[in-house]
Amino acid sequence: MVVILLLRMNLNKKRGDGTMSLSDVPVGFEAKIISVPDDDVGSRLLSIGFVPGNSVKVISCAPLGDPRVYMVMGKMVTLRNDEAKRIQVSMEDEIEQLSNVTEGSWRVIHLVGGRNFRDKLRSMGIDIGSTVKVISKGVVETNRGVFRIGLGMARRIYLRRDDV
C-alpha cells in the first residue's frame, strides 16, 4: 500500500456529529457515505455509486495527494479532492490522530510519513501495532520512555483506543 504522502488528510475536520468529508479519510480505511450534495455534481456522484448508506474504501492516492482512488459498489473510481470534499462520511473504524486523543492507552494503527519519520518514531518505541499511553496533550509513554511529540508529528500518527 502506498502511503508516503497524504497532504490533505486531516481528521481534525471531523464535525460535531461525527462526520467528515471523504477527502479526509486515510488511505486503506473504509467509511459509510452519509450525504452527497444536491446539485449537478451530486447527481454525477450518485450515478457512479456514491449513494448514502454505501461503504467506500480509500484505495490509494497520487504522489501529491490528489486525485485519490476509491472502491465503491465493487468499482474503482478516481475523484479529485474537490469532489470528495463534498461527500460527507462517517468512519467505520474509529481512529483518531495522536493530536486529538484523550489520556489513556492507544494502539498505533497507521503512520503517514517516510523512512526518516518512521525511524524517528521507532527510536521512541512507536510503530504500527505498538501501544502508547497518552499522558497529556503531546506527551506519550512507550516501552522506551516518556516522549513529547510535536503537533506536526502527532497529526501523522493514527491510533485506535486499546481495549486491553
Residues 110-130 have pLDDT tens digits of 888 889 999 999 999 999 899
Q: How confident is the model at residue 18, as a pLDDT?
A: 65
Q: What is the pLDDT of residue 25?
A: 83
Verify that 105 and 82 share a domain, yes or no.
no
CATH of residue 112's domain is: 2.30.30.90
Does residue 121 share a domain with residue 106? yes
Q: Write down the pTM of the prediction.
A: 0.59
Q: Point out the domain boundary residue: 61, 91, 121.
A: 91
Residue 5 lies in a domain: no
Does residue 85 contact residue 41 with C-beta atoms inside 8 Å? no
- Asked if 61 and 107 sit in the same domain, the reply is no
16 with 86, same domain? yes
Q: Are residues 37 and 79 in the same domain?
A: yes
Number of structural domains found in the chain: 2
Output helix, strand, coil percentages for the chain, rounded to the nearest 5: 20, 35, 45
Q: What is the pLDDT of residue 94?
A: 73
Quote the longest CA-to-CA distance of the chain.
Answer: 54
- pLDDT at position 113, please? 81
Positions in the chain whose pLDDT score sits under 50: 1-13, 15
* Same structural domain, 29 and 101: no
Domain range holding 118?
96-161
Structure confidence at residue 9 (pLDDT):
38
* Separation CA 44–CA 55 (nearest Å): 17
Residues 70 and 123 in one domain: no
Q: What is the distance of C-alpha 65 from the center of its chain?
A: 13
